[in-house]
Every structure is written in C-alpha cells, then in structure tokens.
Amino acid sequence: MEPQTTPAVDSVITRLARVATTRGPQDLHERLANLDRFVRADLIDFEAELALIPRGARVVQQAAHHLLDLSGKHLRPVCVALASRFGAGFDARARGLAVAVELVHTATLLHDDVVDVADKRRGKPTACTVYGNAASIFAGDWLLVAALRRIGAVEPELVEPMLAVIDEMILAESIQLERRGVLVETAELRRGYFEVVEGKTAALFRWAMMAGAKAAGLSRAQTAALERYGFHLGVAFQAVDDELDFAKDDHATGKDPLADLREGKVTYPLVVALEHEPALRPRIAALLASDEPDAVELHAIARIVRSSGALKATRELAEEHVRGALGVLEELPVGPAREALVTVALASLERAS
C-alpha cells in the first residue's frame, strides 16, 4: 500500500490540500498521510454508497448525477466519518448520514448555479448549462428529498435538525440575494457577511459533525464540542474560498476567477477593502450594480482589493477560526480521531481549490 500510488490516498491528499504546499506547516504532508490512512477505508465505503444513488432515465436524475459525478472534496462526509471515529465508528448509520450531507450540499450547488447563472463548477460546465435551469432546480429538489429520506431511514431524530439547517441556508441565500448588486453601509455589510457564511456554509459543517457524533453515540458535551468545531471549520473554509476567488486570475479553482465579484456578491475581502479604503465605495458600488461588469474595471478593482491588505485580513479570519476549531478539540479525548481533525483544520488553510 504505497500511499503515493493508490488512487484513494492521492484523492484524500489532493482533496484536502491539492498542493505540494510550501507555505503550510512543515509536517502537513505527514499529517495528511496519517489522515489518509485513518479515513481511507471510510471514504471508500462512503463513495461506494454514494454510487448507489439511483441513476434512472429522468432528466432530473441526469442533472443531479452530472454534478455528483464531478466528485467534490467530500469534506462534509469526511467530517461525519471523523466525528463518528470518537465513538462507534463509521458504521452503516454514519455512512447514511454522510451520504445525506453530501446530497444536501450538492442540491444547494445545483440551485446556486441556477441563481448565479454560473457556467462552470469543478472545472466543468454546470448542470444548468447542460440540462437547463428547470432540470437543475428539480434535480436539487430531488437530491434534498433523497437526503431527507436517507436521514429518516437511519436516524429519524436528525431529520428536524437537517430541516433547520436547510432553513438557515435558505434565509442566508435570501440575504445574499437581497444584497446582490447593492452596496449597503460597511458595518451592515460585515454583519450580513457573517450571517450568510454561518447559514450557507458553517451550518452544514456543524450538522455533519453533529450527525457523526450522534451516530457514534457520543456524549452531549462531546457532540456540542464537535458541532462548534464544524462551525469554525465552515467559516474558515468559506474565508479561504473568498480569498481564492480573488487570489488568482486563472482557473485553478475549477470556477471562473472573480466569480463572486462578477456576480455582485460582497465577500470578506471586499468588506475589508471598503473598510480600509472608503474612497473605493463609488467604484465598487458601480461595479456591483452593473449586470455586465466591465472586465477591465473588474480586474482593476480586484488588483486594488489585493493591494489593500484585504486578502491578508481574510486569511487572518480563516486562521482565527482554525484556531477556534483547534481550541474546541482540547475538549475531546486525545487519539487518532482528534489528530485527524487537527489535520483537516490545518489543511483547510492550505488548499488551492
């Protein structure tokens, strides 16, 4: 079992880091190799179960599988698996919950891509481009239903918490929608940013950790600690996402660069840039309000944001939440599961896509 030659090892490493990082902690490679050994079998089991989602002849099923087949990082299922490893382990119940969380995540991406009129996702054409908006909307609905049925089958008392998470996600989407193209006052921008991140990203990570913990029969205190870990990981993850959108002008992330800015979304770097350089406000307001932003102005503003110190502040936000995540882990027993979560938190800072 040479780690570097088997696909599963490669996949875990690349999913969490995607880079031979030069800026990460000295031991991250070794940590990732350990993490891989620890979750490899779980991830294989998870992927085998995910592959069983019925394909069917219907266009909604094809649209759903279009995105499921462009396999993502599977980070939320890894969260379920790792939480479960503090207790009974990644058994059939935990596996069902891991599949469910990935289906919910995929459903939200399908709806997001319709709403954002996105062309690319994971380096490939979006489902809405290939199958149309209607099929993508119904495909998202179909996956949500499949996820909820699965949760109901393995752990009925987790259906309501998942519905509460989906509710949070929808209200966060709503805030983002209302804010699109509109530049509110800076303090309000900052508040709205965190509301959106908590609802759109952190809530589902929190559920994933909670689900793994419940399936594995952990105590209430340990479950609560793992939920807090999920929250911090989610915010860190989103902050790095925001940074990546600005960091490069190429397509290394599999999405269009500057997609958030082009879609009129105010992400953390933009909030900070406005705080640092209030004189930018009219230019950014004009850019956000434009349906077809001028490419030259788009890149000019991206350069100003980069030179304003906003990316550094965004990284600091991510680091603050990684520290939060690591702090919470102190409340959990020492061992390979805890070490694995340390690695996931550290690696979240180092990913390139």
Interface with a copy of itself (CB under 8 A): 56, 58-61, 111, 114-115, 132-135, 137-138, 141-142, 144-146, 148-149, 152-153, 156, 159-160, 163-164, 166-167, 170-171, 173-175, 177-178
Q: How far is the CB of 130 from a copy of itself (least distance, A)?
A: 14
Kindly tell me the burial class for residue 54, based on how many C-beta atoms sit within 10 Å of its own C-beta (0-12, 13-18, 19 or more). exposed
Q: How far is the CB of 133 from a copy of itself (least distance, A)?
A: 8
Bridge-based pairing state of the strands 120-121 and 124-125:
antiparallel
Write the DSSP assignment of 130-173 as a string of letters.
HH-HHHHHHHHHHHHHHHHHHHHHH-GGGHHHHHHHHHHHHHHH
Q: How far is the CB of 162 from a copy of itself (least distance, A)?
A: 9
Packing angle, helices 336-348 and 28-50, rounded to 10: 100
* Residue (167 or 316) nearer to a copy of itself, CB: 167
Distance CA 127, CA 110 (A): 7
Which amino acid is present at 192? G
* Residue (51 or 177) nearer to a copy of itself, CB: 177
Q: How far is the CB of 218 from a copy of itself (least distance, A)?
A: 23
* Residue (87 or 161) nearer to a copy of itself, CB: 161
Q: How far is the CB of 302 from a copy of itself (least distance, A)?
A: 25
Residue 121, strand partner residues: 124
* Residue (15 or 105) nearer to a copy of itself, CB: 105
* Residue (200 or 338) nearer to a copy of itself, CB: 200
Task: Give the 3-state secondary structure of residue 267.
Answer: coil
Q: How far is the CB of 346 from a copy of itself (least distance, A)?
A: 35
Q: How far is the CB of 145 from a copy of itself (least distance, A)?
A: 5
User: Pick from 211, 109, 222: which is nearest to 158 by CA?
Assistant: 211
Two structure tokens written together for 265: 């979304």
Asked if 288 contacts 181 with a C-beta cutoff of 8 angstroms, the reply is yes
* Residue (49 or 141) nearer to a copy of itself, CB: 141
User: Pick from 265, 244, 266: which is nearest to 255 by CA?
Assistant: 244
User: Pick from 103, 97, 110: which is nearest to 208 by CA?
Assistant: 97
* Residue (13 or 110) nearer to a copy of itself, CB: 110
Q: Is the dihedral of CA 347, 222, 99, 66 positive or negative?
A: negative
